[in-house]
Structure 1
Amino acid sequence: MSEQVHLAEYLFVRLKQLGVDSIHGVPGDYNLQALDYIEPAGINWVGNASELTAGYAADGYGRIKGVSALITAFGVGELSAINAIGGAYAEMSPVVHVVGTPPTAAQNAGVVLHHSLGDGNFRIFADMYAKVTVAQANLTDASTATSMIDRTLRECVLQSRPVYIELPTNMVSTKVSARPLQRPLDLSIPHNDEGFEDAEVELILAKIYASKQPFIIVDGFTAALDITKEADELVRITGFPTSTTSFGKGIVNETYSNFHGIYAGEAGKQVYRPWVESCDLILRIGPLASDVNTYGFTTLPNPKKTISFHRNTVEIGDSNSFNNVHVKPLLRKILNRLDKSKLPQYDPYPDLGDPAEQLRLLPPTKPDGIIDQETFWQRISTFFRCGDIILTETGTPSIGGRDFVLPPQTTLINSGIWLSIGYMAGAAQGAALAHRDIVHSISKLSSTTIDANSSAVIAANPPTSRSSQQTFSKRTILFIGDGSLQMTVQAISDIIRNKLALTIFVINNDGYTIERWIHGMKAKYNDIQPWRYLLAPAFFGADMDSADYPIVTHRAEVWGQLWDLLEKKEVQECKGLMIIEVMMQREDAPDALKKLVANAARRNSGIKQELANGHGTSEKAISAAG
């Protein structure tokens, strides 16, 4: 590499070094020159049908790969994507949003340009993005641009949240030093103060040893904090009864004998909630205290009995809070020092539920029986296998998917707070692409000997990657309702364009069923236009006769048809795009959803009173989000 490179080249090479093998986005006149540098940097251009689905896809890619990138144009393009970036911020997904902006001279002069508000203010959109990103960089000065890029990318990875980079058109080809590219970006976690950390570790271990009835809750931010391995190890070594939240489902190995499914508070088994409330120690890892994730705040534990592990904070009881503590090295030290001989010996505890056993006990279905919401989500678990990536859209799929019985090394993506319907269609495209990129990188490494410090190794095995899979099934499986799919159906076009292997189960229950249960069961505003979903691939230009990228579409109206489909080899292998439309009753919903929306209705009419009646539902506890 020469001593100097163009600024856009620097940016995309750096992204490639981080592990971004594909970049999502939509071309616009303010980013067109920058797009010319993507493929020379070794990055695949996805080319999305809309900025919103591009943003959703970048979010999904980041959740699997550990970092992702999105490029849009100033104004109209970036505002179309801001909903997706807001969701990535709320749920901690690392997305680098690059925005092509007008030339600096025009901005400084306040010229009235297209895609602006016409008031000469070119900072207004950046100001908006400052609210939903953790770092921003406006690359207007060549002398500082590369350091700003590196700083911003570092924050994206370490905080696992979106960042915002403005690239003016006149700066794209500006020459900058290439020297920093010779060194990998420093992604090391700052060390905790040794003495301070030791005292904290000993305090936590003492509470674990002194407990009589401990309980572990693994939540969804565990993955974003890169402590999945530590959480799983803690569950396995201690043998403590363990559950996840809905947002955290799939993070720990669900085949462990001490795993008892999702802790669902008032929406779960009657024996579970009082038993948890009787526990004298609760270890809460990567928590998200949202209403949906905590079943209307009914799973929030008593803070006096709880140790909560956040990114840079550990809360021990309701009086000790340690800040500026990095959770990953802290947990690692706890595990290294853990003395199994001092762990409490459990007396038999109530049957909290064995998801696999509950699946086995389900009565057989009748071939002509109607496919019901209450058991579909458990029964479909027999289709899953190690290495699958599974996504459940907000609504009946997300609620029902909490009953999945997952094999080891399975990744589940759902939404724990943002709940933007239609998100999962785009996210599934991004997740499938990330899955393929990881497999391709590993395949290249297996046939090539490379210096361990080279950027090629960094690109193939980015230190930020969340994918802990040892088995790659190459299957990405999406469950999405008909109403949600209509929001972002363009994502199917992006899937076909990039020839991604993806299975889509479209749950067709004729409208917004979750909204019907919240309010307006018979109301017209919860109806949707009936689409012919199985014709979507042809409409989006798929070659229906392609041998290299097969398109498979089926409809299942009764159990017999569904089981016959799932036994087909083409369905199990899914080498291309497969859409299975599953017909369900209009007003049918999982029991947990009915309880959840009833709780939501009560909250909407009087949340303050409900919070006052709950355990540990202080403003601090409710707003805690990692």
Structure 2
Amino acid sequence: MADEVTLAQYLFLRLHQLGVRSVHGVPGDYNLVALDYVEPSGLHWVGNANELNAGYAADGYARIKGMSALMTAFGVGELSALNAIGGAYAEKAPVVHIVGVPSTASQDQGLFLHHSFGDGNFRLNAEIYARFTCAQANLRNVETAPALIDETLRQCLLQSKPVYIELPTDLVKARIPTAKLEKAIDLSVPPNDTVIENAAIEDILRRLYAAKQPFIIVDGFAPRYGISSEADELVRVTGFPTSTTPFGKGVINETYPNFHGIFAGAAGKEIYMPWVNSCDLIVRIAPLNADTNTYGFTTLTNRNVTIEVDHNGVEVCGALYRKLNIKTLLRKLLDRLDTSRLPQLSPYPDLGDPKRLLDQLAEPARDAFIDQETFWQRISKFFRSGDIIMTETGTSSSGGRDFVLPPQTTVINSALWLSIGYMLGACSGAALAQREMISAKSRPNGRTILFEGDGSLQMSVQAIGDIIRNRLDVTIFVINNDGYTIERYINGMHAGYNWVQPWRYLESARYFGAPENDPEYPVFNKRVENWGELMDVMQDEQLKAGKGFNMVEVVMDKEDAPSSLKNLVRMAAKRNEGGSETSPAHQELEQRVMATS
């Protein structure tokens, strides 16, 4: 390597050192010269059709790979991606957003440049992004730029949130000593205070041993905190009854005998919520307390009997142990756990066994319409270990909570931001990350499988072009129910605003330029309207292989929806009308939020 590299190369090489292998984004005149250094740095330029989908794709890539990069141009480009970065910030996806901005001289002179607001203020976009990112770097000084880049990337990984880097056009080619790249970015965290750590572990162990009716709830921030394996091990070695939240779907091995599906609170089985409320110990791991993830806050639990494991500490039945590396704490807890002292559990109610429920389903009549109530369970027979399974906001996300998952599957859904159309873009990023990891032998072979509504697909359909451009292996089940069914249940079952223009979805591969008769990138298209057709298509060898671009259009009734979705939107409709939540746990949460705000 030469003695010096450009500033752009320094940034891209640092990303490469941290495991990033692709850069999503859209070219623009303020970032074009910087793009010349992407591929020489060992990175792949994805080339998305628009910035919003590029942001969605970067988010999906980050959730699989652990970090991603997005590059846009100043003004119109970066603001087009803002919605995607907002979702990544809300749901903790570590995306590095690099923005090519005008030269420092142009900014200092306050010139009326294109893509600006024509007022000479070049800081407004950065001020907006400061609200959606955990760290920012304005690379105006070549002497301080390397350290600023390193610290910004460090914060992206440590906090698992997006960061924002401004790269002015006149500094792209600034020279940086290569020696600065020889020292890796320090990702270590301070050691835990042993007194606080030991006190927390002893407190937790004492309560685990004393519990008579314990329960574990695993949530979706566990992967962001790097504690998925510890959560899985705790569930396995304790044998305690366990559920996940919708956001936590797939975090643990769902074939364990003590796994009982998703805890849906007031929207779930009638026996489940009273039983949980009578538990004397509940362990909540990496929680997201959003209304959609807690079924209108009805799955929140009594603080006095809850151990809540969060990013930087743990709350044990009201006692706070803060400023702790939670992965280290859980590892030590598991090492010290004496399973012989755990309680012998008394028989508890049938909380649900997803595998048993799937096995008990009667074979549907071949000419019967495909129904939402059983589709999501039956389609589970299509899954295998290693798959990445993605469900779009709406009926797909709600229905996907009934999936019966094999081990080593990854589920991606949105439980807070809920930007309709996100998942198709994210699918392209996740599939790319999966391909890179399989090539590096850091992930088992598997497919990327997306369940997408017809309405949401129309929001971000250009992502199909991105998928085909990059020859990504993707399987899409398009749920065609003539529009926005989730919105219909909230309001306007027959209102015109909940309809969408009918598209010929199966022609999208041809429209977006998929190759014809190419064995290296095959295309599979099929429309199914009854159970017989669906069962047959699930046995197709090409579809099962998952290679190339595969789309199955699944026709369902526009007024059909999973029962859990119907219950959830009733709660949402009540809140929209000004109804109040009556859950004591929700009232307690509001009080705690007020006390800390």
TM range (shorter): over 0.9
Which is further off, 132-141 or 1-10? 1-10
Task: State the alpha-carbon separation in 1 of the partners of residues 584 and 258 from structure 2.
Answer: 31
Q: What secondary structure sits across from 2:581 in the alignment?
A: helix
CA offsets per residue over residues 511-540 of structure 1, 9 Å max, x none?
Answer: 000000000001000010000000001111
Change (3 A) 1:614 1:312: closer
After TM superposition, give the deviation of residue 325 of structure 1 in Å.
Answer: 1.2
> What is the letter of the counterpart of residue 325 of structure 2?
H
Partner of 1:447: none
How big is each residue's C-alpha offset from its partner over 1:110-144, in whole Å with a ceiling of 9 and x where there is no partner? 11100001111100000000001000000000111
How far the C-alpha of 1:611 sits from its partner, in A, is 4.7
Deviations 1:344-373 (A, max 9, x none): 110010101000000011111111010000
Tell me what 2:213 maps to: 213
The CA distance in 1 between the partners of 2:262 and 2:405, in whole Å, is 12
Report the AA paired with residue 84 of structure 1: A
* Structure 2 residue aligned with 1:530: 502
Which residue is 1:338 aligned to?
337
Q: Which residue of 2 aligns with 1:111?
A: 111
One-letter identity of the residue aligned with 2:445? F
Q: CA deviation at 1:195?
A: 1.9
Matching residue's letter, 1:580: V
Aligned to 1:300, the other structure's residue is in SS state coil
2-side partners of 1:103 and 1:433: how far apart? 33
Is contact 2:297–2:583 with CA below 8 Å preserved after alignment? no
Task: Give the drift of 1:614.
Answer: 4.5
2:492 is paired with a residue of what secondary structure? coil
Q: Which amino acid aligns with 1:178?
A: T
The aligned runs of 1:143-542 (5 Å cut-off) are: 143-318=143-318, 320-442=319-441, 469=443, 471-473=444-446, 475-542=447-514
Q: Is the 8 A contact 1:23 1:71 kept in 2?
A: yes
Q: Tell me, yes or no, if structure 1 residue 589 matches structure 2 residue 576.
A: no
The superposition leaves residues 290-337 of structure 1 with CA deviations (integer Å, 9 ceiling, x where unpaired) of 00000000000111110111101211223x122211111011111011
Residues 477 and 554, structure 2, Cα contact 8 Å, conserved in 1: yes
Task: With a CA cutoff of 8 Å and minimum separation of 6, indicate the structure with the bigger relative contact order.
Answer: 1
Q: 1:7 to 1:583 in 2, by over 3 A?
A: same
Deviation per residue, 1:79-99 (Å, 9 max, x gap): 000000000000010100000
Q: Deviations over 1:148-175 (max 9, x none)?
A: 0000001111111100000000000001
Distance 1:623-1:550 versus aligned 2 partners, 3 A rule: farther
Partner-residue secondary structure (3-state), 2:427: helix
The equivalent residue for 1:13 is: 13
> 1:541: how far off?
1.1
Report if the CA contact (8 A) 1:534-1:579 is conserved.
yes
The 5 A counterparts of 1:30-45 are 30-45=30-45
The alpha-carbon distance between structure 1 residues 594 and 621, as it changes in their structure 2 partners (threshold 3 A), is: farther
Q: 1:136 — aligned with what?
A: 136
AA in 2 matched with 1:496: I
Contact 1:303 1:616 in 2 (8 A): no
- Please, which of 516, 525, 529 is the counterpart of residue 553 of structure 1? 525
Aligned partner of 1:618 among 585, 589, 592? 589
Following TM superposition, by how much is the alpha carbon of 1:603 offset from its aligned partner in structure 2, in angstroms?
A: 1.5
Deviations 1:406-447 (A, max 9, x none): 0000000000100000000000000000000111223xxxxx
CA change 1:590–1:44 in 2 (3 A) is same
Between the aligned residues of both structures, percent identity stands at: 61
Equivalent residues of 2:302, 2:585 under 8 A apart: no
* Contact 1:504/1:578 (<8 A) preserved: yes
Q: CA deviation at 1:387?
A: 0.3
Aligned amino acid, residue 501 of structure 1: D
- CA drift of 1:509 comes to 0.1
- SS of match in other structure, 1:221: coil
Unaligned runs of 5+ residues in structure 1 are 443-460, 462-468
SS in 2 for 1:257: coil
Q: How has the CA–CA distance of structure 1 residues 355 and 621 changed in structure 2, closer, same or farther, with 3 Å as cutoff?
A: farther
Deviation, 1:620, is 5.9
**What SS class does the counterpart of residue 527 from structure 2 fall into?**
strand
Deviation, 1:615, is 5.1
Cα pair 1:135 1:155 within 8 Å, conserved: yes
Conserved? CA contact 1:300–1:617, under 8 Å: no
The answer as to whether partners of 2:367 and 2:530 remain within 8 angstroms in 1 is yes
Q: 1:623 to 1:376 in 2, by over 3 A?
A: farther
For residues 475-520 of structure 1, the C-alpha deviation after alignment (integer angstroms, 9 at most, x for no partner) is 1000000000000000000000000000000000000000000000
> Could you tell me the TM-score, scaled by structure 2's length?
0.98
Matched AA of 1:346: L
Deviations 1:19-49 (A, max 9, x none): 1111100000000000000000010100000
The 1:615/1:28 distance shift into structure 2, 3 A limit, reads closer
3-state secondary structure, aligned to 1:222:
coil
4+ runs deviating over 6 angstroms: 622-625
Query: Please, what TM-score do these two structures have when normalized by structure 1?
Result: 0.94
- Unaligned stretches of 5+ residues in structure 2: none
Q: For the residues of structure 1 that align with 2:470 and 2:321, how far apart are their CA atoms? A: 47
Equivalent position SS for 2:578: helix
Q: Distance in 2 between matches of 1:178 and 1:301?
A: 53
What secondary structure does 1:225 align onto?
coil
Please list the CA deviations of residues 169-198 of structure 1 after superposition, one character each: whole Å capped at 9, or x if unmatched. 000000112212112222223211122211
Asked whether the 8 Å contact 1:611–1:617 carries over to 2, the reply is no
* 8 A contact 2:526–2:551 mirrored in 1: yes
Distance 1:189 1:82 in 2: 30
SS at match of 1:606: coil
SS state at 1:98 partner:
strand
